[in-house]
Structure 1
């Protein structure tokens, strides 16, 4: 069957997803750049296989270290965006973003490469992310054990990665992280997170909401309750209480022209209402769209988002 006769579930500049599970990806969203030394930031990165069975990898980032430095640095576990369908830790814009974040914030970063849908339907991305998080906080690599502070771990994600961050934070809050010396996840950052639900919010754009739910149905056919599965709708009936979120601080960033923004703001309010004892911060950029700070990192407003993230990591 040719593409002209198939029903489109979701169509954007990054990919076209059909209801029959076929996908056409934009070539630029699948490009990668190698790890290594970044002359602009002084950050060094390397790729590490974390699961031979699945071929899962992470990209580790280390800022310049002076001599035999003994001060341990916070650890950021980062999850890239891309609708669960495109992108990778090595995608140029995410590699550039993490290099900049590591240099500015003086952190060690673990950027997670999870399997992509629809070839690997959800929950594969969640399973890979959970396995990578457990690997990261075990201090398995010398960059983490020698330079990382397992008492100051942060979860950071963009778009679909922000959704993953929420799910990791809930999972840790409910079940903990197995380790000889349990790590401490201090903070959680959701950047333009992707959420949805079976019922459209009044402030949501109807066309995007419908297409987003169609996308979810294709990439996660076994989801419980469709778009009211707790993994895409944290406020759904039966979802784990948001009071279970791990960490002491939460930052959610949204953009006023992003159709996902109403769900991000509602998520903050729901966390506050849940009785969660941490500090909730919400930061919205006016006049910008989804993921603008990754697409155009040199703009003034992108700099404001980076400043907010860096300050959060430094607890300023």
Structure 2
């Protein structure tokens, strides 16, 4: 017997479809891949861990030749997907982050936060903050977060060089994590040293209602105060925190010539320059490339150049 077709509520094909029974369909979603004991190309190891009942992550560590070597930077990374698709365990991120970790010589924590519409925002923000606090908890003994500590972080992490970063929605999350540390402290007094915002997903009052970026925000955070004028998605909103008070030492922003978000990302960079931000600011505006191009094919010349620029920023 043929089943009756489900009734559609929101159709953002080919990105996502949401049905009235609450289920979602994500076309072309990548299957998860396992971590690598030692990647043969990059010599980077990875493993999966559970942070809480809601949050898991994949950890990456470069090959350490000398166990007595100095501590290395820590990057907490948030994946792309418009807050409604994507995973820290996808092959796209396994390929990209193996290369980034190898080039930057750092410990990386790729956070698998909950996604909408099953878990509308602010779930992803809260999960990301919980992950960041978990990382910070490794900086002190007897910290406020219970549970077994992760030896890769304890043995190798430099908690004076903690970065946050991400692509698209992940770049938005990274921005908001930096903003949040301006009003809430991390365990052990850990500070975010720098932020890597790749093609960050922002909207503003000029974002058209018919645009995909507007529709996605309405889907993932239907109760957002102010809609696209929420400071979470609109860093230029009247009630958004002053960008000049961002408390990290350096910010890296990248965008692409063909990216629909390029104009707003460049506006973000200009606003940061004019805000009184006193840290280091670096922009990579990649000619001829589209949104998150390095994620889909990290082996092209331009992708390799961008990954190297990100790594240099973190090592510098």
TM-score of the superposed pair, with normalisation by structure 1 = 0.90
Looking at structure 2, the residues matched to 117 and 198 of structure 1 have their Cα atoms a distance apart, in angstroms, of: 23
Over 3 Å counting, the alpha-carbon distance change for 1:44 and 1:63 in structure 2 is: same
Map 1:285-300; keep pairs closer than 5 Å.
285-300=286-301
Looking at structure 2, the residues matched to 170 and 238 of structure 1 have their Cα atoms a distance apart, in angstroms, of: 13
Over 3 Å counting, the alpha-carbon distance change for 1:190 and 1:134 in structure 2 is: same
**Corresponding residue number in structure 2 for 1:161:** 170
CA contact (8 A) 1:19 1:218 kept: no
Looking at structure 2, the residues matched to 215 and 61 of structure 1 have their Cα atoms a distance apart, in angstroms, of: 30
Larger deviation, residues 139-148 vs 17-26: 17-26
Deviation at 1:279, TM superposition (A): 1.8
Deviation at 1:21, TM superposition (A): 6.1
CA contact (8 A) 1:255 1:288 kept: yes
Looking at structure 2, the residues matched to 112 and 301 of structure 1 have their Cα atoms a distance apart, in angstroms, of: 26
Looking at structure 2, the residues matched to 18 and 307 of structure 1 have their Cα atoms a distance apart, in angstroms, of: 42
Deviations 1:162-201 (A, max 9, x none): 000000010012222132xx2232211100110012323x
Looking at structure 1, the residues matched to 107 and 213 of structure 2 have their Cα atoms a distance apart, in angstroms, of: 33
Map 1:109-120; keep pairs closer than 5 Å.
109-120=108-119
Deviation at 1:251, TM superposition (A): 0.8
Looking at structure 1, the residues matched to 65 and 77 of structure 2 have their Cα atoms a distance apart, in angstroms, of: 24
CA contact (8 A) 2:29 2:86 kept: no
Over 3 Å counting, the alpha-carbon distance change for 1:191 and 1:28 in structure 2 is: same
Looking at structure 2, the residues matched to 20 and 288 of structure 1 have their Cα atoms a distance apart, in angstroms, of: 38
Deviation at 1:16, TM superposition (A): 3.3
What secondary structure, in the 3-state scheme, does the structure 1 residue paired with 2:201 have?
coil
Looking at structure 2, the residues matched to 90 and 275 of structure 1 have their Cα atoms a distance apart, in angstroms, of: 38
Map 1:137-286; keep pairs closer than 5 Å.
137-139=136-138, 140-179=149-188, 182-200=189-207, 206=208, 210-286=211-287
CA contact (8 A) 1:9 1:214 kept: no
Deviation at 1:22, TM superposition (A): 5.0
Deviations 1:42-91 (A, max 9, x none): 11111111113x2x111111110124233101101111101111111111
**Corresponding residue number in structure 2 for 1:88:** 87
CA contact (8 A) 1:255 1:286 kept: yes
Unaligned runs of 5+ in 1: 201-205
CA contact (8 A) 1:197 1:213 kept: no
Deviations 1:208-262 (A, max 9, x none): x633212211211110100111111011110111122231111100001110111
Q: CA RMSD in A?
A: 1.9
**Corresponding residue number in structure 1 for 2:35:** 35
Looking at structure 2, the residues matched to 184 and 123 of structure 1 have their Cα atoms a distance apart, in angstroms, of: 23
1:49 aligns with 2:50: yes
CA contact (8 A) 2:105 2:315 kept: no
**Aligned residue-pair number:** 302
Deviation at 1:18, TM superposition (A): 6.5
Map 1:2-13; keep pairs closer than 5 Å.
2=5, 6=8, 8=10, 10-12=12-14
CA contact (8 A) 1:174 1:244 kept: no
Over 3 Å counting, the alpha-carbon distance change for 1:19 and 1:213 in structure 2 is: farther
CA contact (8 A) 2:8 2:18 kept: no
